[in-house]
Amino acid sequence: MAGKIITSTIAPELPRKEHNPYHGVDLEFITIDTVCDHDLFLLQEGRYVLYRKRSLPFSMKDKQRLEQTRNKTIYVFCADEQELRRFYEANLPNIIENPNIPTEKKAQVLYECATGISHEIFSNPDNVETIGKSKVVVDNTMSLLAKGSDAFLQIISLSSHDYYTYTHSVNVMTFTVALLSALGIKDERVLKEAGMGALLHDIGKAKVPLEVLNKPGPLNDDEWTVMRKHPSFGFEMLSEAPVPERGRDIVIQHHEKINGVGYPYGLRGDAIPLISQVVSICDAYDAMTTNRVYQKAKKPFDAFKIITKEMYGHFNPKVIEQFIFLLNLKNKK
Ligand SMILES: [Fe+2]
């Protein structure tokens, strides 16, 4: 099928918000004793007054001194939304570990940073350096998930209701890491590599023509042939990227099904590693529970009805059961 290759369609441009360059931040968010790389200001009598130049570290003494003057907010100068996200990104490990910041706020900052980085990755799918940033997303998500089930529920409550490849990828990564942990996988390295694979599972869609990717109706045979190549495209695209083998294997295996009806290889049962089985169900679940061009989002209970009935044989029953348990859907309809 003829079709030009379009590489930026899976990450449409983000909506522009009105941006005030002086962004108020609670002092707890600033990492102590590090150079914050942004000028810091205080708001005094309606004017922003420079407090600390970007080249100087922010110390515990600074924090205490400001707290004594009842100054709980400091203003960070960020010229645009992207720079603001970089500020949060740089302080993310501190934000997640800081016991004085509520889980809800941590989840919010994490989700915004994660979707921002994911957008960056899917906008530049051939840039190996950008792809390497998937590690930042996974590491910080794992740190927050390790704080308990409350953190998981907070993150998923924020997930986008509309389907975009870059938000879907963050959702699938979050579900994957949480579900693998619930299934007893405790090896951090395995979880991290699985998380990277989950985040990048659909990167190959960047090589699928726009008219196929966004077609509002069913695909014809030729279109399906191209669409079904995206796992192999992704595997190929990541050959030079800093992505571990386990992560790349997920990319090529995420449409395989336990009963052998999947693609590209039609693998069966245990021939599909557990981590790929997990990504596969998380992918299907998130795709069903978000709004698509051709269908409205399904309720979680209805999505599982399809997973267990119409898609019977596609997924590992033990994984399905644990997923239902993880989402706390046991007694809900
Ligand atoms: Fe896919």
Given the structure tokens 């809800």, which residue do they identify?
Answer: 104
Cα 30 to middle of ligand 1, angstroms? 38
175 shares a domain with 66:
no
Q: Report yes or no on 239 lying in a domain.
A: yes
Indicate the pTM of the whole model. Answer: 0.90
pLDDT of 106 above 50: yes
Q: Residue 29 falls within a domain, yes or no?
A: yes
What is the average pLDDT across 51-76?
91
Between the CA of 232 and the centroid of ligand 1 the distance, in Å, is 10
Are both 177 and 231 inside the same structural domain?
yes
Position 2 pLDDT exceeds 50: no
Quick one: average pLDDT of 282-290? 96
255 CA from centroid of ligand 1 (Å):
6
Per-residue pLDDT tens over the stretch 19-53: 789 999 999 999 999 888 899 999 999 999 999 99
Residue 187 has pLDDT above 70, yes or no: yes
| pLDDT band per the 50, 70, 90 thresholds, residue 7 | very low
Distance 212 CA to ligand 1 centre (A): 13
* Sequential DSSP letters for 42-110: EEETTEEEEEE-TTSEEPHHHHHHHHHTT--EEEEE-SSHHHHHHHHHHHHHHHHH-TTS-HHHHHHHH
Distance 52 CA to ligand 1 centre (A): 47
Q: Quote the ligand 1 centre to 276 CA distance (angstroms).
A: 12
Where does the pLDDT of residue 15 fall: very low under 50, low under 70, confident under 90, or very high at 90 and above? low
**pLDDT tens-digit map of 191-230:** 999 999 999 999 999 999 988 988 888 899 999 999 999 9
- Same domain, yes or no: 145 and 290: yes
> 274 C-alpha vs ligand 1 centroid, how far in Å?
17
Q: Are residues 199 and 233 in the same domain?
A: yes
| Residue 125, in any domain of the structure | yes
Give me ligand 1 centre to Cα 121, in Å: 16
> For residue 238, what are the domain limits?
102-326
Q: How far is the CA of 234 from the centre of ligand 1 (A)?
A: 9
Q: How far, in Å, is the centroid of ligand 1 from the Cα of 192?
A: 20
pLDDT in tens, 153-184: 999 999 888 888 999 999 999 999 999 999 99
User: Is 8 within a domain?
Assistant: no
Most confident among 80-84, 106-110, 146-150 (mean pLDDT): 106-110
pLDDT exceeding 90 applies to what percent of the chain? 80
Q: Do 210 and 70 lie in a common domain?
A: no
Residues 73 and 203 in one domain: no
Structural domains in the chain (count):
2
Rounded to an integer, the average pLDDT of 5-10 is 48
Ligand 1 centroid distance, CA of 101 (Å): 36
* 3 state DSSP class of 38: coil
Please tell me the distance between residue 143's alpha carbon and the centre of ligand 1 in angstroms.
26
Do 313 and 232 share a structural domain? yes
Tell me, yes or no, whether 221 and 158 share the same domain. Answer: yes
Q: Indicate whether 106 and 253 sit together in one domain.
A: yes
Q: How far is the CA of 228 from the centre of ligand 1 (A)?
A: 8
Q: In this structure, what token pair is assigned to residue 178?
A: 């949480």
State the pLDDT at residue 201.
Answer: 98
Give distance in angstroms: CA of 280 to centre of ligand 1: 8
Measure 140 CA to ligand 1 centroid, in angstroms: 24
Are 152 and 297 found together in one domain?
Answer: yes
Question: 272, exposed or middle or buried, with CB in 10 Å at 0-12, 13-18, 19+?
Answer: buried
pLDDT-based confidence at 329, cuts 50/70/90? low
How many angstroms separate the alpha carbon of residue 230 from the centre of ligand 1?
A: 7
Lowest mean pLDDT among 10-14, 122-126, 135-139, 319-323: 10-14
- Asked whether residue 118 carries a pLDDT value surpassing 80, the answer given is yes
CATH code for position 309: 1.10.3210.10
Q: Does position 17 have pLDDT exceeding 70, yes or no? A: no
117 with 262, same domain: the answer is yes
Go through the chain and tell me how many residues it has: 333
**DSSP 3-state of 26:** strand
The C-alpha atoms of residue 131 and residue 133 are separated, in whole angstroms, by 5
